[in-house]
């Protein structure tokens, strides 16, 4: 009997974790694994951490993952000042007498199994570090807003004093981003690849929907307001989760409490742009601040052009198109962030 077999017999939970990560659990093992997860909160935390690392690596790397149990046994012997014979090379009575005199059996194999798992997770972490996709980071300052298009064509409106990190490609089984601050997400639907937002200890998971996430460090909470679709707000660390539908807002506090209430009328008001009899110069200035662009107004200053309109989900191209049509303006895009408005006459 090899040390690998002994570890499996004495500590089946480690074997279940490895098989669960690779999707190789039988029906009976699935029942056993579920029971083990419910036994202790630390079991769930360990599983969440291991599965998160595993999910962020590719399938090809998983196929080459083979923890060295023999090496783990060598380390056990070194720690206990035991002879470095493999258990399979020792006579059973000799091995039993030697180990029982020094350690209880369960402690020895728990230590060995822990080393095996640690080596395995270190290997996965190494692969993740060396093969993980690049991350892009976008940040805004006070009063600034940015429109961001993600690799899957999902759209994000980032509020001021906020930071969004996202992978430059979404080749894995999940689309993961990280948010600090506030943003509105319009996520492209993909049932096969969930969209996950991490904000501190909070995790927001969707398949395809539109919603607002507010995660300001000064507020010590994360708030999610749903406009369309269905959203899951959870804290994997404490195992709590709430499902949100349109018209509802979920809040996760720093101490782990999750609440669900009807969305206040002004919840996503920061995304609304409203103009009431504003001059073209005033409109241009507000658009510059909102979209972080440069807009130069030229032409007849004697032409007093005004504009009235409200945009619930502002998009610069659409606003400029409406603005031009309502005032007979000529709007030219110079660069990706520079525009010119030619003011001739106004209706």
| Statement to judge: residues 121 and 226 lie in one domain | no
| Statement to judge: residues 233 and 320 lie in one domain | no
Q: What is the pLDDT of residue 223?
A: 92
- Which residues span the domain enclosing 166? 135-262
Q: What is the pLDDT of residue 6?
A: 45
pTM: 0.49
267 falls within a domain? no
Over the chain (347 residues), what is each successive 10-residue block's mean pLDDT? 46 68 71 80 76 56 48 53 49 45 44 52 50 82 84 91 92 91 94 92 90 87 92 85 92 90 71 84 84 85 79 85 89 91 76
Q: Looking at 131, 159, 174, which one is the last position of a domain?
A: 131
With 0-12 CB in 10 A as exposed, 13-18 as middle and 19+ as buried, what is 42? exposed
Q: What is the CATH number of the domain that holds 285?
A: 3.55.50.30
Cα 47 from Cα 8, distance rounded (Å): 18
243 φ/ψ angles, rounded to the nearest 5 degrees: -105, 135
Element housing 138 (H / E): strand 135-139
Place of tokens 């004495």: 10
| Statement to judge: residues 139 and 255 lie in one domain | yes
| Statement to judge: residues 164 and 221 lie in one domain | yes
Q: Looking at 108, 131, 154, which one is the last position of a domain?
A: 131
User: DSSP readout, 65-113?
Assistant: ----HHHHHHHHHHHHT-----GGGS-HHHHHHHHHHHS-HHHHHHHHH
Q: What is the pLDDT of residue 163?
A: 96
| Statement to judge: residues 108 and 151 lie in one domain | no
Q: Among 293, 346, 345, 347, which Cα is nearest to 319's?
A: 293
């Amino acid at each position: 009997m090899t040390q690998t077999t002994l570890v499996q017999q004495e500590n089946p939970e480690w074997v279940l974790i490895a098989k669960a990560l690779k999707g190789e659990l039988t029906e009976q093992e699935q029942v056993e694994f579920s029971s083990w997860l419910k036994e202790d909160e630390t079991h769930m935390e360990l599983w969440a951490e291991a599965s998160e690392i595993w999910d962020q690596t590719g399938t090809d790397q998983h196929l080459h993952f083979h923890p060295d149990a023999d090496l783990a046994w060598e380390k056990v012997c070194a720690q206990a000042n035991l002879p470095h014979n493999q258990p399979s090379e020792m006579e059973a009575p000799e091995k039993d007498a030697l180990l029982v005199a020094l350690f209880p059996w369960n402690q020895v194999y728990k230590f060995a199994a822990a080393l095996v798992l640690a080596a395995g997770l270190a290997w996965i972490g190494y692969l993740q570090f060396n093969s993980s996709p690049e991350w892009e980071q976008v940040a805004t300052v006070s009063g600034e807003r940015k429109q961001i298009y993600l690799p899957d064509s999902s759209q994000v409106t980032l509020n001021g004093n906020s930071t969004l990190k996202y992978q430059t490609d979404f080749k894995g089984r999940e689309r993961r981003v990280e948010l600090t601050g506030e943003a509105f997400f319009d996520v492209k639907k993909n049932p096969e690849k969930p969209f996950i937002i991490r904000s501190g200890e909070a995790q927001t998971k969707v398949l395809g929907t539109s919603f607002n996430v507010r995660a300001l460090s000064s507020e010590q909470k994360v708030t999610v307001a749903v406009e369309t679709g269905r959203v899951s707000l959870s804290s994997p660390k404490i195992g709590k989760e709430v499902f949100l539908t349109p018209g509802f807002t979920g809040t996760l506090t720093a101490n782990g409490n999750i609440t669900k209430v009807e969305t206040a009328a002004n919840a996503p008001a920061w995304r609304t742009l409203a103009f009431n009899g504003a001059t073209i110069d005033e409109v241009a200035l507000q658009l510059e601040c909102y979209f972080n662009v440069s807009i130069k107004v030229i032409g007849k200053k004697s032409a007093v052009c005004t504009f009235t309109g409200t945009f619930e989900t502002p998009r610069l191209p659409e606003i400029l198109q409406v603005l031009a049509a309502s005032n007979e303006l000529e709007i030219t895009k110079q660069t990706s962030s520079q525009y010119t408005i030619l003011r001739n006459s106004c209706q």
